[in-house]
Amino acid sequence: MKKGKTALVLNGSPRAKGNTAVVTQWFENALRRNGWAVTRFELHRLSYKGCAHCSTTCKKTSDRPGCALDDHLTPVLDEIAAARLIAIASPIYCWSVSGCTKAALDRFYCLFKNNGSLADGKKMVGLFTAGGDAFAGADLAVEMLKRIAEYGKAECAGTIAATGCDSPADLRRRKDIKAAVDALAGKL
């Protein structure tokens, strides 16, 4: 592993063997083959709140997230600040990312400081799955990730929208999606 090749994966799916888990595992395996150290957090297993937008603590610190909320996501935010690559993995529910993914993304606010961003120079990747087509919400999730990355001065290094797969068996038959995941991990 090359120094600094640390990746953090935030998995927002509650299904341990669902489509998002399959794509996430493919991505993590490809990253490891390319010399990355990978840590995954299962967001649905953590107990945390969305951003309170209090700006009392997080805007007063510049070297760490400094979120005023003290819950299971607080140490994850510290790891996000330390990682070089952040991957957001989520199924698409009701034209958006899952609720736990959205709440975690809202907490990224503490990474964006008055005098800069703790996400500056990092790479962000989206791994989105949906039973419908790209216009069932995956397109909106991709756009949201691009805007978060841009605001935080990070690079949106790519996204995978694994759409039209109703089950992991359907997904595993889609060699094009697996190839796209491998190609994305290979270019990072």
Note the pLDDT of residue 106: 96
Average pLDDT of the residues of the chain: 94
Six-digit token pair at 49?
A: 């709140």
Note the pLDDT of residue 114: 86
Question: How confident is the model over 119-154, as pLDDT tens digits?
Answer: 999 999 999 999 888 778 899 999 999 999 999 999
Asked if pLDDT for residue 115 goes beyond 70, the answer is yes
Architecture of the domain defined by 6-187: 3-Layer(aba) Sandwich (3.40)
CA separation for the pair 24, 39 (Å, rounded): 11
Instruction: Please give the model's pTM, rounded to 2 decimal places.
Output: 0.95
The answer to whether the beta carbons of residues 30 and 86 sit under 8 Å apart is no
Question: How confident is the model over 40-98, as pLDDT tens digits?
Answer: 999 999 999 999 988 778 888 888 999 999 999 999 999 999 999 999 999 999 899 99
Note the pLDDT of residue 84: 97
Note the pLDDT of residue 3: 58
From the list 17, 170, 161, 148, the residue with the least C-alpha distance to 92 is: 161
Average pLDDT over residues 163-188: 95
Note the pLDDT of residue 1: 45
CA separation for the pair 7, 22 (Å, rounded): 17
Domain limits, the chain: 6-187
Asked if pLDDT for residue 171 goes beyond 80, the answer is yes
Note the pLDDT of residue 133: 82
Question: How confident is the model over 78-92, as pLDDT tens digits?
Answer: 999 999 999 999 999
**Percentage of residues of the chain with pLDDT beyond 70:** 98
